[in-house]
């Protein structure tokens, strides 16, 4: 039988977890989580990890399976997730992938292009220049070395131009190979042994924002501040550079009031959800459903694609 991967995408707090559990119970299969923040065992409340009842209802993979002290890349996740799926497909040719991290969804569904190894001295040079000159150095370098890709980001994904790690990588490839970063994109064909059935959940913006605000209030009531305090001494770790933690770090450093920090979490989560929507709306062959759609209708759609 052909393998199918039901893939549930959409912005944060839209109801992906609840739907994935209902579908997994119906089709008697497992769930692969691709929420890049839920990997870390020290980050439970602030990443909206499924609760004990939800985790007990269906077998989940890649939930709190790493530590914030471990280095774990999207490439590592791709490799581990595909191996896990290979095993699961032997038991059931239909499995579920769910999460709001678009890059990690793409890693499983499509994989990434292959880039040459870059000499470490190039990376060191770029890091040093970035420390001296800031993000503008990276932006100017990319514009000079790969004008077309810089323009593409400016138009389609401007927040990436503000991401130091991503920008360093782009410039590193350009300088290390003498070729534009974009010249390596789309060259590698990553074969997959499954067909994706992609389900998107959406809601009116006001509804979505209200759900986000309510979720943040719930997190605070469940003890998010104590969770953040427990990792505060390690606040510079890459895994902790995320919404819900950065804002409370500022509070713990007496830079803001607690009320202000909470409102910043809500605001920044709403901004994050907008970026998620922009990313996922570009995902081809996605069937979009209202977040309140009857689950049976979604099941019927999935069955029509099998």
Report the binding-site residues for ATP: 10-17
On whether the CB atoms of residues 154 and 122 are closer than 8 A, the answer is: no
CB atoms within 10 A of CB 99: 24
Q: How far apart are CA 301 and CA 27, in angstroms?
A: 13
Residues within the annotated binding site? 10-17
Residues within the annotated binding site for substrate? 12-17
Residue 252 neighbours by CB under 8 Å, 6+ apart: 228, 229, 232
């Amino acid at each position: 039988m052909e393998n199918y991967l039901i893939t549930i995408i959409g912005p944060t707090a839209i109801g992906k977890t609840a739907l994935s559990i209902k579908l997994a119970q119906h089709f008697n299969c497992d769930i692969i989580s691709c929420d890049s923040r839920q990997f870390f065992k020290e980050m439970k409340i602030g990443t909206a990890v499924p609760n004990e009842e939800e985790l007990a209802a269906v077998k989940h993979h890649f939930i709190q399976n790493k530590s914030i002290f471990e280095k774990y890349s999207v490439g590592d996740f791709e490799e581990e997730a595909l191996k896990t799926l290979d095993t699961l497909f032997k038991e059931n040719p239909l499995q579920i992938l769910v999460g709001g991290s678009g890059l990690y969804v793409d890693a499983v569904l499509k994989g990434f292009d292959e880039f040459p190894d870059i000499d470490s001295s190039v990376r060191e040079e770029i890091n040093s220049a970035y420390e001296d000159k800031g993000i503008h150095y990276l932006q100017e370098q990319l514009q000079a070395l790969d004008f077309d890709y810089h323009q593409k980001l400016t138009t389609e994904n401007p927040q990436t131009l503000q991401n130091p790690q991503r920008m360093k990588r782009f410039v590193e490839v350009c300088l290390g190979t003498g070729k534009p970063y974009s010249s390596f994109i789309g060259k590698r064909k990553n074969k997959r042994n499954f067909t994706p059935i992609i389900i998107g959940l959406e809601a009116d913006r006001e509804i979505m924002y209200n759900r986000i605000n309510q979720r943040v209030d719930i997190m605070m009531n469940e003890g998010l501040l104590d969770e953040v305090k427990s990792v505060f001494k390690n606040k510079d770790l890459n895994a902790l550079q995320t919404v819900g933690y950065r804002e409370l770090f500022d509070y713990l450093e007496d830079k803001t009031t607690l009320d202000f920090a909470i409102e910043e979490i809500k605001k920044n989560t709403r901004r994050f959800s907008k970026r998620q929507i922009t990313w996922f709306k570009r995902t081809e062959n996605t069937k979009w459903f209202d977040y309140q759609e009857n689950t049976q209708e979604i099941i019927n759609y999935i069955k029509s694609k099998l």
